[in-house]
């Protein structure tokens, strides 16, 4: 008898696109894919940040290139992405949050949150999967959602609504794209300490205590806490996983 062997999580020979890759979670996820052997295209608006990250990845022995791109400019996505070789892996990480009471949220707030958190993910996915289907190639898409895509929270109606929408999009895409061999999953992190979230903690010292009271593991998340999950979902080790949401919330939604 030959003992079964664990499927590899290596990504050698595959091309990955990570949106919102300039800093924080996006930078960590891009580094994780590069460490597993993927050639990673780093997409964001700030070319300087992207080039610095690409240089750091190359110094570590990985392969990366900067792709200055505003994913909310839907009309330019096709021009920017369809002319490139197909991507085997897509991480829809670009996102934003404008926390405030529902009665204070404006139309501009609504449009900004949904344009980046939902619309951009939809149309970037459309561009990437169009190429994969045309070339009869499988692939993996990972949408960066949130624990707030599974629960509700005061002062976060727009964010929660957008992340619930992203979870629905993940499931619908998984069903539609499965016959083409394209898997679609999400990760749903708790509060991760990044440049985007730090101002919320700085503005209200009591906010961190409130958050920690809900995270059963007793600490905020770090970008590194998400790296293994994304590398796994992108790899052959997750070849039977699609339409799933991997909740990385320290136990927040368990209660």
194 DSSP assignment: S
Encode burial over 154-176: b for 16+ CB neighbours within 10 A, e otherwise: eebbbbbbbbbbbbebbbebbee
Q: What angle do CA 73, 242, 17 make, to 5 degrees?
A: 35
Q: What angle do CA 64, 69, 73 make, to 5 degrees?
A: 155
CA–CA distances in Å: residue 67 to residues 21, 172, 196, 237 = 10, 28, 21, 28
Q: Give CA 175 to chain center in angstroms.
A: 19
CA–CA separation, 169 vs 252, rounded Å?
A: 23
Structure-token match 């070319």, residue found? 47
Number of C-alpha atoms within 13 angstroms, CB side, residue 8? 5
Q: Which residues are catalytic?
A: 159, 163
Residue 129 backbone phi and psi in degrees, to 5: -75, -30
Which stretches does DSSP call E strand in the chain? 15-19, 39-44, 63-68, 89-92, 139-144, 182-189, 245-248
Beta bridge partners of 44: 68
């Amino acid at each position: 008898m030959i003992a079964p062997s664990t499927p590899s999580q290596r990504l050698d020979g595959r091309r990955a696109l990570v949106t919102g890759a300039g800093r924080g979670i996006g930078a960590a996820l891009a580094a994780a894919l590069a460490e597993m052997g993927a050639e990673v295209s780093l997409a964001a608006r700030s070319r300087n940040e992207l080039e610095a990250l690409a240089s750091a990845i190359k110094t570590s022995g990985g392969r990366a290139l900067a792709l200055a791109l505003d994913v909310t400019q839907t009309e330019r996505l096709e021009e920017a992405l369809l002319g490139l070789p197909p991507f085997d892996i897509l991480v829809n990480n670009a996102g934003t949050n404008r926390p405030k009471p529902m009665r204070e949220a404006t139309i501009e707030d609504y449009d900004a949150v949904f344009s980046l958190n939902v619309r951009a993910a939809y149309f970037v996915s459309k561009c990437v999967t169009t190429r994969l289907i045309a070339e009869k190639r499988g692939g993996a898409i990972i949408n960066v959602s949130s624990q707030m895509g599974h629960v509700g929270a005061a002062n976060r109606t727009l964010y929660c609504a957008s992340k619930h929408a992203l979870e629905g999009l993940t499931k619908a895409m998984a069903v539609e794209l499965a016959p083409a061999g394209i898997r679609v999953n999400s990760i749903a992190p708790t509060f991760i300490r990044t440049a985007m979230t730090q101002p919320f903690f700085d503005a209200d010292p009591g906010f961190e205590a409130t958050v920690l009271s809900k995270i059963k593991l007793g600490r905020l998340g770090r970008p590194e806490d998400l790296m293994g999950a994304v590398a796994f979902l992108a790899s052959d080790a997750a070849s039977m996983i699609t339409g799933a949401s991997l909740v990385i919330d320290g136990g927040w939604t368990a209660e």
